Amino acid sequence: MKRIDLVFRTVGERTSELALELAKTNIRPDRVFIFENIRPFSETVQKQLKLNHNCDIVVYMDADCLILENMRPFLESNESPYVDCFVQDRFRGAIHCGVHLTRIDLVDAMRRVSPPINDLAYVLRPESRLRNLAMQANGWKKSFKNFFILHDHFQRACDIFAKYALRELRSRTKKQRLRLDTAMQKWGDDTDFVIARAALAHANRSVPPEASASEQHAYIRELPRVALEETRKMPPASQKPLLRSEVEKRAHEVSKNRPSSQKPKVFGLGLSRTGTRSLTAALQILGWDCLHYPTDEQTFKDLSAGKGLFQFLNIWDGLTDITAAPYYAQLDANYPGSKFILTVRDTGSWLRSANNHWTGRDPFAPAETDAAQSHMKIRRLLRAATYGCYEFEPTRFRWVFEQHRLNVERYFQKRSEDLLVIDICNGEGFEKLAPFLGVPEPIQPFPHKGFRLSEQINQERSHSASPIDHEDDASEFEVND
């Protein structure tokens, strides 16, 4: 049995007491460390990295998260160095933030990273910045998992204000701004939303876009005081102790938009550069925890066995990219009742993108770490299985691309309910994907990732073309074969 430490961070949120109680029930930690009223968050991060852990996994969580399902079975089974948890956010729908499952060797690696100086990414997201640097140094990849967690529900006025003033600073890119603006279109006139709008406006007035990292850090330091002053002028949010009955009622309302616990497996059959990362992110938002091109040693062993069986599918909901594409018939047989999604793209633009993508990606490049070595072995195997070659060859690639679509559509021609063909690169998104999976369209824009034409899509389809950025992290899903 794995040993789990819980690091619980609170600044006095209304949810703090119940959040800790629920976390103890649903994580069953061996030890609990509590950090109270330490600001700014960068100081919390530095203090928590000095803890003396004797465990396998550290769960870092904030007091604005109410965990409503048993996470312990997943913690026992998962081997990923880092899993960011998708939650049900009061203001922005399904996002990943607030609860972070971190393997102890990654925690140790984070300790060895010196905090960057005058680094805006560190100022805005200190924990994420250190974690990303540590993961990059070790060749590790992050994973994402949906749990039934309510985030930012039932908060005090001053906490909402402080959080959304910071949210304004974190939303000063086209992608993040579109995410926030799209979510705000669904906001009503409840007190919580009035406070959040006021906070966004205050930060916008107080901190110009050209402000330096040190200037933004100074504003963040003053936010607790500013939030108290500003919210005295507003209608008060609830200050009463939070009752379980309130949480249960809200959980019932939110659960109506979540997929059934008996949801089918989902496999993305599109070749690389057809929107497979975008599809993976979109499936996460809809409630399907899928892996995009996993490169660990166990996956290599599963691929090498040639049976179309993957150990990780015991705890994950599906798979995308060329790890799945050549094996759709076996996956269909091994995982009956599954749904299949074929991402497609104009052949000419795909060939140009594939050429750019393969350039500089030597399948025989030296591997300096065990993780990199596994990645190289999988790269070689899947290039051979999918394309029949190791290097980009346009005639061969054109034939494989067109034949793959023909073969998949022919295979499912009498089972149209099991196959969705979607052109994400041309702007198709949740309006096709959500009905296919039988769930409502989310409030977020569709997470287009990695396309040069995305700016054009942003202009023409303002509700369907923005990457989902990590809540505490500016990076995107990994770019792989």
**So what's the pLDDT on residue 456?**
37
**Position 35 pLDDT exceeds 80:** yes
**Position 461 pLDDT exceeds 70:** no
**So what's the pLDDT on residue 39?**
87
**So what's the pLDDT on residue 473?**
32
Q: How far apart are CA 144 and CA 413, in angstroms?
A: 32
Model confidence at 450, pLDDT cuts 50, 70, 90, reads low
- Taking the whole predicted model, whether its pTM rises above 0.85 is answered as yes
Amino acid type, 279: L
Q: How far apart are CA 403 and CA 57, in angstroms?
A: 45
Least confident of 13-17, 129-133, 366-370: 366-370
Specify the residue for token string 């509700």: 463
pLDDT digits (tens, 9 = 90+) for 234-283: 866 556 789 999 999 999 999 988 898 889 999 999 999 999 999 999 99
pLDDT digits (tens, 9 = 90+) for 76-102: 999 999 999 999 999 999 999 999 999
β-bridge pairing 65-67 and 4-10? unpaired
Identify the residue with better confidence: 62 or 471: 62
pLDDT digits (tens, 9 = 90+) for 327-364: 999 999 999 999 999 999 999 999 999 999 998 899 99
The torsion region of residue 51 among left (phi > 0), alpha (psi -120 to 50) and beta comes to beta
**So what's the pLDDT on residue 250?**
96
**So what's the pLDDT on residue 479?**
28
Percentage of the chain beyond pLDDT 70 is: 92
pLDDT digits (tens, 9 = 90+) for 103-127: 999 999 999 999 999 999 999 999 9
Identify the residue with better confidence: 420 or 40: 420
The residue among 71, 65, 140 whose CA lies nearest residue 108 is 140
Is residue 64 within 8 Å of 15, Cβ to Cβ?
Answer: yes
Residue 252: phi, psi to the nearest 5? -65, -40
**Position 464 pLDDT exceeds 70:** no
Angle between helices 297-305 and 370-387 (to 10 degrees): 30
